Amino acid sequence: MQRSYTLDELAKFLRRQPKQLQKLAENGTLKGRKVQGEWVFALPDVVLWMETEIVEPESQNDEFEKTLAPNAGADDEETTLADIFAENAIDLNFPAKTKESVIRNITKLAADAGVLWDADGMADALREREEMASTALDVGVAILHPRQPQPHIIAENFLALGVAGRGVPFGGGFNNLTDVFFLLCCDSDRVYLRMLNRLARVLKSEGFLDALRECQTPFDAKKLLAAAEKALA
């Protein structure tokens, strides 16, 4: 997979105007570097920038997903959040009181579910990502993920969920507290961005988070997400 892009390549990939991306690079919004006078962008930096755009209004999320679809394989386009959301990777009584315990327990949850081979390695990757900027949103939800794909330590693309009984200081979120924690891991940036975008849209669905917090079983949580995701179409 291509790991860096020139300005023109990135514009083509994202279906954006080169001048728009150049302006973002010049003001530091989109991290890049100049090589022999030409802008070059590393894919992880593009991912980080796009994550900030994910939480924009719904119409922008729709457009964002359209830009990714032509670049994904047929199998990727058919994959849904519900497909990678395993019931045994859902804990509705999530034991977390600190940021560190969130990271430790969410990786253990995934490892116990058989979708993650190296919980310690993933925990290190999540800490590194959180040090860059908190993944907590202002609705009391955090979407944890490594900065770069970790295909060598995941068994498959997966989404794990922990819902804590009380809010945890996680560097952001509603009143600086977070109680819903997703862990999203994919084997490529393209698939990750598509899944992240769909999850962001689901989280904005009216009543979804309130209903999620009231779920009694993992089956209920998966059914709720599947229904909310289906309604996006």
Domain of 9, CATH number, reads: 1.10.10
Q: Do 103 and 213 lie in a common domain?
A: yes
Residue for token digits 């999850």? 199
Tell me the residue range of the domain where 14 lies.
4-54
Q: What is the pLDDT of residues 156-203, one digit of tens each?
A: 999 999 999 899 999 865 668 999 999 999 998 878 888 888 898 899
CB-CB neighbours of 47 under 10 Å:
18
Report if residue 62 sits inside a domain.
Answer: no
Domain count, the chain: 2
Q: Do 49 and 107 lie in a common domain?
A: no
Q: Do 137 and 189 lie in a common domain?
A: yes
Q: Do 98 and 176 lie in a common domain?
A: yes
**Strand 178-185 to 158-168 pairing:** antiparallel
d(CA 76, CA 153): 20
The domain spanning residue 143 has which CATH number? Answer: 3.40.930.10
Q: What is the pLDDT of residues 136-159, one digit of tens each?
A: 888 899 999 998 889 999 999 999
CB-CB neighbours of 126 under 10 Å:
24
**pTM for the whole structure:** 0.80
Residue partners of 90: CB distance under 8 A and separation at least 6: 160, 161, 162, 218, 221, 222
